[in-house]
């Protein structure tokens, strides 16, 4: 045994059904902690109300002086949701434990997708997250959880398991944005038409004069990749421009220029201008 370890001085743990009243009592022992994360509290409260909150290993922690050193946002969420949830409570931590809490690697959406067997989970998780952001209308994007990503994947597993993971590597450094745009358009348009558009965008091979608009989009993406710092642009810009040019190409309109716009403008155009959302059309 490590001589530095004193078993009798180790923290003690118990499982507790934390009610709003208990949460308020625990929070009375909170002094001098970091500011609360309001959006995180809203997210936790939402999960609790939807029955998606899970009894996990991350404990509500108190130090040897009885001071609350971990779990402030979760306890405030219990109060906000006005609901009781099971939690692990740990007591007796050394005073300096707070300095090393929350410094490890955060489990992301790609980790959870890998757990359910998805391949190329990094690219896929980023694409699915963008789809869910889009469906939220660009608001409260931090409310997209790892659980939401997995649920979307499992509900649309046939689609995501069959995407070409090598697609768009040349034309765009942000592959996940184009995978997200393709999925969004495939929900509203004929698969053959969507596949044709993205095949031309990826390969650069045209089949008719109308495809020149797609080539212009492709050349713009390549130019942006070369001239933009680190070759990386926001997913919003790629998704917005792809959907915009697809709509014009789909309606037989020529595209004379694809202009690079700031991320904020892309967000406004994509989420606020409802006319830019994909409109379901029939195959001609």
Let me know whether 172 and 277 are in one domain. yes
Asked if residue 138 and residue 39 are part of one domain, the reply reads no
Q: Compute the distance between CA of residue 248 and CA of residue 278 in angstroms, rounded to an integer.
A: 11
Question: Region 9-28: what's the mean pLDDT?
Answer: 92
Q: Which residues are within 8 A (CB) of 53 and not within 5 positions of it... i.e. 6 or more apart? A: 44, 47, 85
Q: How wide is the angle at C-alpha 191 spanned by C-alphas 209 and 124, nearest 5°?
A: 110
Amino acid 197: pLDDT: 96
**Per-residue pLDDT band at 105 (split at 50, 70, 90):** low
Tell me the pLDDT tens digit for each residue of 26-75. Answer: 999 887 677 888 888 988 998 899 998 888 878 999 999 999 999 999 99
Tell me how long the chain is.
284
Domain presence at residue 137: yes
- pLDDT for res 104: 53
| pLDDT-above-90 percentage for the chain | 40
Total domains in the fold of the chain: 3
Q: Do the domain assignments include residue 3?
A: no
For 140, other C-beta atoms within 10 Å of its C-beta total 13
Residue 208 domain-assigned (yes or no):
yes
Rg for the chain, CA atoms, rounded: 24
Query: Last residue of some domain: 68, 99, 130?
Result: 99
Same domain, residue pair 129 and 187: no
pLDDT tens-digit series, residues 156-183: 999 998 888 788 888 888 899 999 999 9
Torsion of CA 53, 58, 59, 65, to 10 degrees: -140
Q: In terms of domains, do 172 and 283 share one?
A: yes
pLDDT tier, 92 (very low <50, low <70, confident <90, very high otherwise): very high
Instruction: Identify the helix (H) or strand (E) that includes residue 13.
Output: strand 12-18
Q: Is 31 part of any domain? A: yes
Q: Do residue 173 and residue 274 come from a single domain?
A: yes
Q: Looking at the structure, tell me whether residues 93 and 141 fall in a common domain.
A: no
118-161 per-position pLDDT tens digit: 877 888 999 999 998 888 776 555 678 888 888 899 999 999 98
Which range, 113-117, 261-265, 275-279, is most confident? Answer: 113-117
pLDDT band at 256 (very low <50, low <70, confident <90, very high): confident
Do the beta carbons of residue 225 and residue 231 sit within 8 Å? yes
Same domain, residue pair 248 and 206: yes
What range does the domain containing 204 cover? 166-284
pTM exceeding the 0.85 threshold for the entire prediction: no
Q: Are 236 and 260 in contact (CB under 8 A)?
A: no
152 and 44 co-located in one domain: no
Asked whether residue 284 carries a pLDDT value surpassing 80, the answer given is: no
| Confidence class for position 273, pLDDT limits 50, 70, 90 | very low
Please give the mean pLDDT across all residues of the chain.
83
């Amino acid at each position: 045994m490590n001589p530095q370890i004193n078993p009798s001085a180790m923290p003690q743990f118990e499982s507790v059904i934390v009610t709003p009243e208990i949460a308020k009592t625990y929070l009375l022992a909170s002094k001098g902690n970091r500011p609360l994360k309001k959006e995180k509290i809203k997210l936790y409260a939402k999960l609790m109300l939807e029955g998606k909150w899970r009894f996990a290993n991350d404990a509500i922690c108190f130090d040897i002086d009885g001071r609350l050193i971990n779990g402030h946002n979760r306890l405030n969420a219990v109060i906000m949701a006005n609901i009781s949830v099971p939690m692990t409570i740990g007591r007796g931590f050394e005073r300096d434990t707070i300095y090393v809490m929350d410094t490890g690697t955060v489990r992301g959406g790609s980790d959870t997708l890998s757990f359910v067997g998805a391949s190329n989970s990094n690219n896929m998780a980023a694409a699915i997250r963008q789809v869910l952001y889009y469906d939220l209308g660009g608001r409260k994007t931090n409310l997209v959880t790892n659980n939401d990503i997995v649920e979307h994947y499992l509900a649309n597993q046939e689609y995501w398991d069959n995407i070409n993971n090598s697609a768009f590597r040349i034309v765009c450094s942000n592959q996940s944005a184009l995978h997200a745009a393709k999925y969004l358009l495939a929900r509203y348009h004929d698969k053959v038409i969507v596949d044709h558009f993205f095949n031309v965008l990826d390969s650069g091979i045209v089949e008719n004069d109308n495809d020149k608009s797609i080539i212009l989009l492709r050349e713009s993406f390549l130019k942006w990749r070369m001239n933009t710092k680190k070759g990386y642009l926001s997913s919003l810009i790629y998704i917005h421009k792809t959907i915009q040019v697809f709509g014009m190409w789909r309606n037989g309109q020529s595209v004379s220029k694809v202009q690079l716009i700031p991320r904020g403008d892309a967000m406004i155009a994509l989420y606020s201008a409802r006319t830019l959302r994909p409109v379901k059309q029939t195959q001609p």
